[in-house]
Amino acid sequence: MIWVLGNHTKFGTAWSLIHDLHKNSVDTKEALLIMIDRYAATNQFDKAVKTFETMEKFCLLPDQDAFFTFLNILCKHGNIEEAEEFMFLNKKFFPLVTEGFNIILNGWCNIAVDIVEAKRVWREMSKCCILPNGMSYTHLISCFAKVRNLFDSLRLCDEMKKRGFQPGIEVYNSLAYVLASEDCLKESLTILNKMKEAGLYPDSTTYNNIIIPLCGDMKLEEARMVLAMMIEDNVSPTIDTYHAFLTGASLEGAFEVLNHMRKAGLGPNGNTFLQILGKFFELKQPESALKVWLEMRHYEILPDLAHYRVLVEGLAKCGLLVKAREFYNERRSGGFARDPKLEKLFKEPRKDRHLEGDRRRTIKHIEEGKSSFHGRNIAMQNRRAASTLLHLITTTAPLLLLLLLTTRVSATDHIVGANQGWNPGINYTLWSNNQTFYVGDLISFRYQKTQYNVFEVNETGYDNCTIEGAVGNWSSGKDFIPLNKAKRYYFICGTGGCFNGMKVSVIVHPLPSPPKPAIAASHASTKSAAAAAAAARGIYSMLVLMGLFPFIWIGL
């Protein structure tokens, strides 16, 4: 109850309950630690400290365990500097020891991932004559690996062994990742043998730490080899393992991954196709996206609102307005509500009828190939598509420039946590309070897809960090979630991160009323000037895209 009250910033009521517990001779230590956690989660560091210091009033003498718990709470919510300062200020009451420094190291290494601060804390340990233990080395090696510092990762591992500390599975997983990231696949695979010799067994995280960087560097053959080794060692791939292969896969490669997922009994699911569709539209490859859409039916995946939104918006932004309108009407006939933001995309003038004919022929080419797609030569299709698209691009420059001058932004994409992403120890309440959400906007989550995910839950699930009764879930690592209703949304991490602050609640407002004509007229010249300036800035990058696009397509 105290945790729920603190979650809703009802601290006064929570304190009343704590005083009632104290009057009834009930131990209030856990309740006070919960209050500290809730204060830290809402960025009220001073009140968290004051709560810790008032434990004596409740006949509780803060012991070392409570002190360490307090430091952990501060670091978990991103107050790492404050936690370190508090540790030094209280060294007379709680002597400096390795365990305390490890908490600060973990904050800098695994929450903030700040190697500069981590190295500084390591030097402070030496100045204070505090010897690091195995956990200290584990944290620092993890940080060096995450920033792809191979030399220092290996150096610290050797130093760790010389001091008599045996590396655990976390250290080996870090080394496997940094070796694979730095083009040392052979050495990365050697880590697997060393683990087995040490009596440790590689798990899915170990193999994923090798596969993910390989896929990111487009080394798909090597990644497939590691996947085969993973299966041979009786380690079951996760859905994130296969999603990694989709990162840099061509159209043909994406279909191959989907077949492997089906054979392994790991989907594909709706999030898989959202990831593929989003990737191809981001690469400005609408033909590939449409082929993926047709393939969804073969895997018995029924498109939902999110799929239609990505498809319609992607087609419209690629200039295929007729096809986008067809899918939008199909979406509406399925019972989905109107989407004013998408409908604005259809109101752009279409002055070039010859261009529209080219677009229709391009789409017809895709649909005629639906039944025999897998039996045709992919390279031949790509050359034909490239030729069509090259003609399309060279004949549509005037219209595209006109769209640059006249199109308004249709929706706002709110990236949760901004450049900090979806990670533990971040004050998402503060972030959401600085945002304004309207119906039709998107909220997007960016995170390590092998570690975290996103669940949309109700208020009870949000308060208690449970996913029972969840109304949606995503795990692609780059999730775009439409906000289609004016209400309060609740999102949490379902892998335990919710208890570390990975939860956010947002209020979505109805679309504002359109401006009055008089106001619009008075500002017309200002808007025109701003639009012209924006178009001028974008002309160069657009022309570069026109030149490169056919070559990108041919290289699929």
d(CA 402, CA 355): 14
**107 DSSP 8-state letter:** I
Residue with more model confidence, 161 or 35? 161
Q: Pick the closest to residue 173 from 225, 199, 208, 213 (CA basis).
A: 208
518 or 153: which leads in pLDDT: 153
Which of the two residues, 47 and 355, has the higher pLDDT score? Answer: 47
CA 453 – CA 138 distance, rounded (Å): 25
**Percent of the chain with pLDDT strictly greater than 90:** 33
- Checking if the pLDDT of 35 tops 70, the result is yes
Give whichever of 25-29, 196-200, 264-268, 518-522 has the largest mean pLDDT.
196-200
Q: Provide the 10 A C-beta neighbour count for residue 351.
A: 10
Tell me, what's the pLDDT at 534? 46
The residue ranking higher by pLDDT, 83 or 369, is 83
Q: Where are the alpha helices (DSSP H) in 407-485?
A: 428-433, 459-464
If you average pLDDT over each of 14-18, 130-134, 385-389, 399-403, which comes out highest? 130-134
Roughly what angle, to the nearest 10 degrees, separates helices 204-216 and 169-181? 10
d(CA 455, CA 503) in angstroms, rounded, equals 9
The pLDDT-based confidence of 541 (bands split at 50, 70, 90) is very low
Q: Tell me what the mean pLDDT of segment 150-168 comes to.
A: 94
Average pLDDT over residues 238-266: 87
Please tell me the predicted confidence (pLDDT) of residue 133: 95
Torsion angle, CA of 90/96/97/100, rounded to 10 degrees? 40
Q: Is 47 helix (H, G, I), strand (E, B) or coil?
A: helix
Q: How far is residue 487's CA from residue 510's CA, in Å, rounded to a whole number?
A: 9
- More confidently predicted of 335 and 293: 293
In the chain, the domains with their CATH numbers are 168-247 (1.25.40.10), 298-410+518-554 (no CATH), 413-512 (2.60.40.420)
DSSP state of 479: E
Answer yes or no: is pLDDT of 554 > 70.
Answer: no
Cα–Cα distance list, 287 to 93, 123, 323, 343, 521 (Å): 67, 55, 11, 22, 40
- Bridging pattern class, strands 437-438 and 503-509: parallel
Give the global pTM. Answer: 0.50
On average, the pLDDT of the chain sits at 79
Which of 272-281, 327-336, 488-497 has the largest mean confidence? 272-281
Q: What is the mean pLDDT of residues 293-308?
A: 88
Predicted local distance difference test score (pLDDT) of residue 397: 45
Strand order in the sheet with 454-457: 437-438, 503-509, 488-492, 454-457, 472-474
Cα–Cα distance for residue pair 68/70, rounded to 1 Å: 5
